[in-house]
Amino acid sequence: MSDLIAAVATARGSAAIGILRLSGPGAVGAVEQVFRPASGRPLTSYPSRTLVYGSLHDAQGRVIDWCLATVSRAPHSYTGEDTAELQCHGGAALLAAGLEALFAAGARQAGPGEFTKRAFLNGRLDLSQAEAVIDLIEADTAELAANAAGQLGGAIRSRAEAVHSQLIDILAHFHAVLDYPDEEIAPFELAGYVQTLADARAQLQQLHDTFRRGRIARSGLATVLLGRPNVGKSSLLNALAGYDRAIVTAVPGTTRDTAAERVRVGGVLLRLIDTAGLRQTADEVEALGVARTEAAAQSAELALCILDLSRPRTAEDERALALAQAAPHRLIVGNKCDLPRQQEPPEGTICLSARTGEGLDALEAAIAALVGDAGSAPWDGAVLTNARQAGAVARAIEALGRAEQAMQSGMTPDAVLTDVEDAIEALGQLTGRSLREDVVSRIFSRFCVGK
């Protein structure tokens, strides 16, 4: 049994409005103890979801605010329980006093995410929607916010349910074949099932393919600036960031430590990491910095290898070029194109000047092309941004691949069943839905074999 929880739902600080929220049995009664409608009518006489004006009282009965109360009765509420909200003025002291009064009326402090957890447990939201709530709150770009809103509206849920439903059909049919061998059941349409599995896998693959873009939009593409000392790595970071983020001097070995900055380049969010220039050095601090550079290069997704075109190429440049090979993606940048050229850069080098800004647009275009935004899924919930969800989708894809293979190689139905069940289980992790109940209820409602 659920109990009565309460919390201040708005951020702390002085604001126009502050909201006290309650959910659970007795929510309406608790509000009645702290709130009196100005009309003199009892709060319970108002229909659900009506805004009622009145006075808010502290635990001693003193008026602490004039506010609006609204009650949503189960199951038509966010949590699926009786809920109430008090829209007060946004003062920290009055909200604290209001919350105390609600505690005195029988509520307890809600834990983090507890309202949404209840919404999930009561089936108001699936797990992907519950996670979208957090994503929407945390979204720091319009794209991520729009995408989270789409997922709150069920964008992932509907995709998962469409596939889930196809798989349950297969499962139900296979169970029927196994459990009731004497019943007259339509013959195995093997090719049809293989096709259904392939379709399901393709749908999930399409969803999973969006994750790279979603992950980049959320945390940025890990991008390391590599090069020997003095080529202009920190200058390029500053040019892209649009302010003097890193120290730039004419002294080689200026940067000693890695420094990260989130920068939008060519429409792509980069987690840009400036590094200590690569060279052999007797300086202990610098040597530690170089070791960090190498570690950063290993974990980066994109390496920007910088050459100083105004100087001849050196062995240290070659080392930087080799290190850049470790990253899944790399671009070679020929810096200082404003100065007379002293080396012929490798083919495909993007020539620019971090000092004048010349050629930065070519770098932007190259980065945009790398992430390949053109023609991809819109930011309406179709983009996976959550690693847990992506992992579940990947497991479902894998299991479906196995099921397809098993079917094609003439395995027994129970072998195929295991793989399909694995896929359903993985989808269940995406949506938080349970497996067994579904299988059972679908078998009897669709196939009617249990009569």
Ligand X SMILES: Nc1nc2c(ncn2[C@@H]2O[C@H](COP(=O)(O)OP(=O)(O)OP(=O)(O)O)[C@@H](O)[C@H]2O)c(=O)[nH]1
Residues within the interface to ligand X (CB under 6 A): 227, 229-235, 248-250, 252-255, 276-277, 335-336, 338-339, 353-355
CB-wise, 24 or 277, nearer to ligand X? Answer: 277
Q: How far is the CB of 314 from Mg ion (least distance, A)?
A: 17
CB-wise, 154 or 252, nearer to ligand X? Answer: 252
Which among Mg ion, ligand X, none contacts residue 422 (Cβ within 5 to 8 A by kind)? none
Which among Mg ion, ligand X, none contacts residue 93 (Cβ within 5 to 8 A by kind)? none
What is the C-alpha to C-alpha distance for residues 433 and 157, in angstroms, rounded to an integer?
Answer: 10
Which among ligand X, Mg ion, none contacts residue 235 (Cβ within 5 to 8 A by kind)? ligand X
CB-wise, 308 or 419, nearer to ligand X? Answer: 308
What is the C-alpha to C-alpha distance for residues 321 and 305, in angstroms, rounded to an integer?
Answer: 6
Residue nearest to ligand X as judged by C-beta position: 277
Which among ligand X, Mg ion, none contacts residue 142 (Cβ within 5 to 8 A by kind)? none
Q: How far is the CB of 296 from Mg ion (least distance, A)?
A: 13
Q: Is the Cβ–Cβ distance between 276 and 289 less than 8 Å?
A: yes
CB-wise, 250 or 374, nearer to ligand X? Answer: 250
CB-wise, 252 or 413, nearer to ligand X? Answer: 252
| Binding piece for Mg ion, criterion CB under 5 A, among 107-115, 135-143, 225-233, 262-270 | 225-233
Sequence-distant (6+) residues with CB within 8 A of 438 are: 164, 168, 424
Q: How far is the CB of 339 from ligand X (least distance, A)?
A: 5
Which among ligand X, Mg ion, none contacts residue 338 (Cβ within 5 to 8 A by kind)? ligand X
CB-wise, 301 or 317, nearer to ligand X? Answer: 317
Alpha-carbon distances of 236 from 21, 36, 94, 268, rounded to whole Å: 49, 62, 50, 16
φ, ψ at 182 (rounded to 5°)? -85, -20
Q: Work out the end-to-end distance of the chain between its first and last CA atoms, rounded to an integer number of angstroms.
A: 35
CB-wise, 118 or 233, nearer to Mg ion? Answer: 233
Q: How far is the CB of 85 from ligand X (least distance, A)?
A: 53
CB-wise, 129 or 335, nearer to ligand X? Answer: 335
Q: How far is the CB of 280 from ligand X (least distance, A)?
A: 14
Q: How far is the CB of 347 from Mg ion (least distance, A)?
A: 26
Which among ligand X, Mg ion, none contacts residue 87 (Cβ within 5 to 8 A by kind)? none
Sequence-distant (6+) residues with CB within 8 A of 112 are: none
β-partners of residue 350 are 333
Alpha-carbon distances of 111 from 6, 27, 98, 115, 137, rounded to whole Å: 9, 17, 18, 8, 17
Q: Is 275 in the site for Mg ion (CB under 5 A)?
A: no
Binding mask 232-261 for Mg ion (x = CB under 5 A): -xx-------------------xx------
Token match 């896929």: residue?
423
Q: Hey, what amino acid is at 404?
A: E
Can you tell me whether residue 303 is helix, strand or coil?
A: strand
Q: Hey, what amino acid is at 368?
A: A
342's tokens: 């002293």
322's tokens: 């080799």
φ, ψ at 26 (rounded to 5°)? 90, 5
Q: Is the Cβ–Cβ distance between 346 and 320 less than 8 Å?
A: no
Nearest to 127 by CA among 160, 100, 101, 103: 160
Q: What angle do CA 205, 206, 208 make, to 5 degrees?
A: 60
Q: How far is the CB of 225 from Mg ion (least distance, A)?
A: 8
Which residues are near Mg ion by CB under 5 A?
A: 233-234, 254-255
